[in-house]
Amino acid sequence: MSHAAPRPLSVSARGPLRGTLTVPGDKSISHRALMFCALAVGESRIRGLLEGEDVMATAAAMRAMGARIDRDADGTWRVHGVGVGGLLQPEQALDMGNSGTSTRLLMGLVSSHAITATFTGDASLSKRPMGRVTEPLSQMGADVRSSPGGRLPLMVRGLCPAVPITYTLPIASAQVKSAVLLAGLNTPGITRVIEPVPTRDHSERMLRGFGAEVTVEDSPEGKIISIHGEAELKPQTIEVPGDPSSAGFWMVAASIVPGSEIVIHNVCMNPTRTGLITALKLMGADIVEIDAREVGGEPVADLRVRHAHLKAIEVPADLAPSMIDEYPILFVAAAVAQGRTVARGAHELRVKESDRIAAMRAALEAAGVQCEEFEDGLAIQGSAGAPLAGGGSVASLLDHRIAMSMTVAGLAAAAPIAIDDVSPVATSYPDFFETLHALTGAAQ
């Protein structure tokens, strides 16, 4: 899965955002839906699947391990699963492109099957640490051979039957938690994960929906998530709600561009994913939930967002697990707020698709924003609602969230912001720029 040719873009202010939109299906849920459907016996259907490059990497990997996955003309995906324990030996390396979620969760799946899989990825993914996942999987009996530094390419030779473990997460990571739980699916006995800090719980919710025996209980050490192995998953019809991470770009854009008013339909409101909304409301954002409901076991709502005069805050560090992917766009909101916003406790940003702390500091400074960098975050001096200076050049570093965040910054800048490459946006939000043009009434 080679990276697309660079696509430079110059972004300038173009007036208020108005209208209604639906964001792509939630990326975390889309990955899991494909994996769990591929492990059920029979045909499952998925509607609203995110069709970005990251999720397509998951689909390709599950096909390579025996599942039949087809897309109907109406956008419904049909998945004929192989059953837990039924994964086949892939004939060649699994190319994960830029998708860390695909890589880490699939490593978990492979670990308790009697197969061997080699994982490769693009330049960005190959820099990301995998040791946090390989450590517990090795405890379960998997044989993992990685490149120096615990990075890709790496090979996982699964053990069947694997060994159930009780594992306490050393860092707040839904990917590590999910990898261990997925390894536990085909492991006799009970596999347990203890998470001292709650993380997104899509795996637990969805596995229960497929018929796995998953329990969650509180303890002095944190939440204990237990899965009973050698599960039999039953086919399902999945409705994927809109991705709150994708919605975040429009929430901030409408908040910082005067005269804006938008409604974002069908946004996942899982409480482990709404940290950005909480932070923006603390800053004074005008975000109203409409028609709260439940879709496929996940809370969902429509969000009406209007322009507001944002004020700086000290971002509560305990929000980090529920908004770790949204910090880049929160930094843009802070750049236009009144006062000095301080966001700390986000060490994980250093090991995302890029070092998002350093990348956003450099990008915002290129747009004329004063920043102070910490090991675990940024302090940002806002413009008090005045346009950003703009006029600089930004490196996206193959990171879709840097590219989209700085596109939003360009909407509130006095001079255009030049982004060296926005092609990575296709990994998570293929229609991002079409939506931008529709909301601003600008010609493409």
Determine the average pLDDT of the residues in 274-300. Answer: 95
Say if residue 442's pLDDT is above 90: no
Note whether 239 and 48 are within 8 A (CB).
yes
Distance CA 44, CA 405 (A): 35
DSSP 267-313: EE--TTS-HHHHHHHHTT-EEEEEEEEEETTEEEEEEEEE----B--
**Could you tell me the pLDDT band of residue 3, with boundaries at 50, 70 and 90?**
low
- The dotted CATH code for 27-230 is 3.65.10.10
Q: Note the pLDDT tens digit of each residue in 101-152.
A: 999 999 999 999 999 999 999 998 999 889 999 999 999 999 999 999 999 9
Share of the chain above pLDDT 70, in %: 99
Note whether 436 and 161 are within 8 A (CB).
no
Binding site residues for phosphoenolpyruvate, as ranges?
A: 27, 100, 128, 175, 356, 401
**Could you tell me the pLDDT band of residue 296, with boundaries at 50, 70 and 90?**
confident
Share of the chain above pLDDT 90, in %: 94
Positions of CATH 3.65.10.10 in the chain: 9-25+241-440, 27-230
Binding site residues, as ranges?
A: 27-28, 32, 100, 128, 173, 175, 325, 352, 356, 401
Superfamily of domain 9-25+241-440: Enolpyruvate transferase domain (3.65.10.10)
- What is the average pLDDT score of the chain? 96
**Edge to edge, what strands does the sheet with 261-268 contain?**
18-22, 261-268, 298-306, 286-295
CA of 119: how far to CAs of 49, 57, 131, 163, in Å? 23, 11, 14, 23
Q: Note the pLDDT tens digit of each residue in 268-282.
A: 999 999 999 999 999
Q: Note the pLDDT tens digit of each residue in 209-257.
A: 999 999 999 999 999 999 999 999 999 999 999 999 999 999 999 999 9
Say if residue 444's pLDDT is above 90: no
Say if residue 159's pLDDT is above 60: yes
CA-wise closest residue to 32 among 142, 162, 179, 155:
179
List the beta bridge partners of residue 226: 192, 215
pLDDT, residue 364, reads 98
| Other CB atoms within 10 Å distance of the CB of residue 355 | 16
Tell me: cis bond preceding 430? Omega within 30 of 0 counts: no
Distance CA 204, CA 238 (A): 15
Determine the average pLDDT of the residues in 178-207. Answer: 96
Note whether 214 and 226 are within 8 A (CB).
yes
Q: Which of 122, 325, 399, 421 is catalytic?
A: 325
Query: Could you give the angle at which helices 400-410 and 432-440 cross, rounded to 10 degrees?
Result: 10
CA-wise closest residue to 213 among 235, 180, 191:
191
Binding site residues for 3-phosphoshikimate, as ranges?
A: 27-28, 32, 173, 175, 325, 352
Length of the chain: 444
Task: Extract the tokens encoding 363.
Answer: 């990008």
Residue 267 φ then ψ, to 5°: -90, 135
pLDDT, residue 126, reads 94
Q: Note the pLDDT tens digit of each residue in 163-176.
A: 999 999 999 899 99
CA-wise closest residue to 122 among 268, 288, 2:
2
The three-class DSSP label of residue 320 is helix
CA of 410: how far to CAs of 328, 337, 393, in Å? 14, 15, 11
pLDDT, residue 4, reads 72
CA of 110: how far to CAs of 103, 119, 179, 207, in Å? 10, 11, 10, 17
95 is catalytic: no
Say if residue 443's pLDDT is above 80: no
